[in-house]
Structure 1
Amino acid sequence: MTTALRITDLSKTFPVGRSLFGRPKASVKAVHPLSLTVAQGETLGIVGESGCGKSTLARMLVGLLEPTTGRIEIEGAALDTADPAVFGRRIQYVFQDPISSLNPRKTIRQIMDAPLRHLHHMPARDREARILEIFDSVNLRAEFLSRYPHEFSGGQAQRIGIARALAAEARILILDEPVSALDVSVQAQVLNLLADLRAQFGLTYLFISHDLAVVEAVSDRIAVLYFGAVVEIGPAEEVFSAPKHPYTELLAQSAPQVGRPLAAPEAKGTELPDPLKPPPGCAFANRCTRASARCRTETPRLTPLGTASQAACFHPLNV
């Protein structure tokens, strides 16, 4: 199977504060060195609590943030972080808030025209034909092109955001909470559209979301992030039905379900460790009922468990 995206030892560290001489007083590791491989046509779901590094990872992949370390390869070619246009032609971002991600001062035609003109230098006549073709593929009417973003509903605006990403002709889309701001009925329409587009254009998706049910439904595999690191990765049908890492089990227990009363699986006030003072060993140890002395001194690495799953845990579940 062809590899669409390969990430090797990718990390991001942010400086915090400045001394009198301009040196950073401290640093925060938002994403620890991680490696992932995504096959062409695959949907990789990425889940985790707020602050675990999901959006930072996504922004590095599309060139909005420069990695501190690591390498990004698309179809075997390394991306040059100094050239944003290279990212635009190969990988595109679909934002969480569809309305605010569109320029309010430009018509939809101008928004759609920009990637065709700047990334592909397409002649005006060809651009118009391509825009109409893309609009048809996302089930939008041509008359919408003369309107402005504020004139659309959330679902329509998200379709426009997806259309703009398709206009760049990128093969990989980073979907950062693409349906969380939409009504449930509209969510289903957008998810069905994404599935159709993936089949039609051979797209590869990285699907980031807090909604575990949505991620499980649309993903082939799921990567679970905690405190900037991947703690489990495996087939979507196994990650939540038979989790290997205690944190994955905690996420599954925390997700609300129809017919099940809400109950907090942890003590009130439990949260991520302090990023300015990261704990030694496993970052999840203080929240884990299975933690041992080894967990508090040694950092576990991703280890194969079974045929397709990996987990970074000394005391994995369901093995």
Structure 2
Amino acid sequence: MTALKVRDLSKTFPIGGGLLGRARAGVRAVRPMSFEVQTGETLGIVGESGCGKSTLARMLVGLLEPTTGRIEIEDRPLDNADPAAFGKLIQYVFQDPVSSLNPRKTIKQIMEAPLKRLYGLDAEERMGRIREIFASVNLREEFLDRYPHEFSGGQAQRIGIARALAAAPRIIILDEPVSALDVSVQAQVLNLLAGLREEFNLTYLFISHDLAVVEAVSDRIMVLYFGSVVEIGPAEEVFKTPRHPYTKLLADSAPVVGRALSAPEQKDSELPDPLNPPTGCAFAGRCPRATERCLTAEPELKPLGEHQLAACHHPLEG
């Protein structure tokens, strides 16, 4: 069953309002993209800073209104859905576990909010549900009367995950959920997420810059560059045999224990100017395989092999 369908989703931020308040220009943070995620699947989303990962995630959970496109969860369109409809279907786990929790409220108050607003449960029903969730994420009930600043990063992230689970969502967006944690705690949280996916039949969209983590937890991987999908396919194949030069660049850039750090491209290489986007392929200026065609024609995302898709005029051999 398809959990999530995205069709031609894009986001442009207007900038430079004039005397009449009209925007003089716009930044296309996410260019029209389409993809699907199956129920119970983990889709990893990778790309360097500024590629549109977090903007995409915020559109999917209703925190940002798309400029164009359509979002469907289990064939239910969310074009004009109210916040409660989003909340019951899809939830967000943030990167910084402590700052994502309201410092003025106890953990009990934080946990009760979705149960009150989304489901209207009474006090006894709320406590019953909270006890179940806390048991699932290995948290003690005595934590409920404490405040967020009293917890370590790992504990706070478990609370953030518990808060997301309280809404009984079908899909959870995990935006860099372990990047702020120590390595030993990262492993604990990742194992917890794997167990919760099985227990509650959840679907994950896992956003991270850590390619090793993404490859370990994901069934498929979607690579973003300058607001566009440049490659998508099974996790093992995408990094073992990347078809887009940018995916290979990411894989070659990732630190590996025992291997000296090296720069796979020029030091001044960076994303194109969003206010003056290039014609053709946005990656052409950094790509060793670029030709004249790449500078004038934007490549389409198309199948390459049995499972992978890539947007490249001159894809790498599989």
Q: TM-score, normalised by structure 2?
A: 0.99
| 1:284 CA drift (Å) | 0.2
Aligned pairs for 1:1-319 (under 5 A) are 2-319=1-318
| 1:123 CA drift (Å) | 1.5
The 2-side partners of 1:165 and 1:129 are apart by 16
| 1:80 CA drift (Å) | 4.0
Contact 2:70-2:79 within 8 A present in 1 as well: no
The 1-side partners of 2:119 and 2:134 are apart by 18
Structure 1 stretches lacking a partner, 5+ long: none
Contact 2:46-2:211 within 8 A present in 1 as well: yes
Q: Secondary structure at the match of 2:165?
A: helix
Q: Tell me the alpha carbon deviations over residues 79-109 of structure 1, each in whole angstroms, 9 at most, x when there is no partner.
A: 1445111111100000000000000000000
Q: Which amino acid aligns with 1:285?
A: A
Contact 1:66-1:81 within 8 A present in 2 as well: no
Q: Secondary structure at the match of 1:251?
A: helix
Q: Tell me the alpha carbon deviations over residues 249-296 of structure 1, each in whole angstroms, 9 at most, x when there is no partner.
A: 000011000000000111112100000000000000000000010000
Q: Which amino acid aligns with 1:139?
A: N
Q: Tell me the alpha carbon deviations over residues 1-21 of structure 1, each in whole angstroms, 9 at most, x when there is no partner.
A: x00000000000000111112
The 2-side partners of 1:232 and 1:59 are apart by 21
Q: TM-score, normalised by structure 1?
A: 0.99
Q: Which amino acid aligns with 2:59?
A: M
Q: Secondary structure at the match of 1:198?
A: helix
Q: Tell me the alpha carbon deviations over residues 165-185 of structure 1, each in whole angstroms, 9 at most, x when there is no partner.
A: 000000100000000000000
Contact 1:80-1:86 within 8 A present in 2 as well: no
Q: Secondary structure at the match of 1:290?
A: coil
Structure 2 stretches lacking a partner, 5+ long: none
Q: Secondary structure at the match of 1:14?
A: strand
The 1-side partners of 2:184 and 2:268 are apart by 33
Percent identity of paired positions between Structure 1 and Structure 2: 75
Closer/same/farther in 2, CA of residues 182 and 81 from structure 1, 3 Å limit: farther
The 2-side partners of 1:130 and 1:80 are apart by 30
Contact 1:254-1:264 within 8 A present in 2 as well: yes
The 2-side partners of 1:263 and 1:208 are apart by 25
Q: Secondary structure at the match of 2:56?
A: helix
The 2-side partners of 1:162 and 1:21 are apart by 44
Q: Which amino acid aligns with 1:302?
A: L
| 1:25 CA drift (Å) | 1.4
Q: Secondary structure at the match of 1:119?
A: helix
Q: Which amino acid aligns with 1:317?
A: L
Please give the root-mean-square deviation of Cα atoms over the aligned residues, in Å: 0.6
Paired residues, number: 318
The 1-side partners of 2:122 and 2:170 are apart by 22
Q: Tell me the alpha carbon deviations over residues 192-231 of structure 1, each in whole angstroms, 9 at most, x when there is no partner.
A: 0000000000000000000000000000000000000000
Q: Secondary structure at the match of 1:291?
A: coil
Q: Which amino acid aligns with 2:305?
A: G
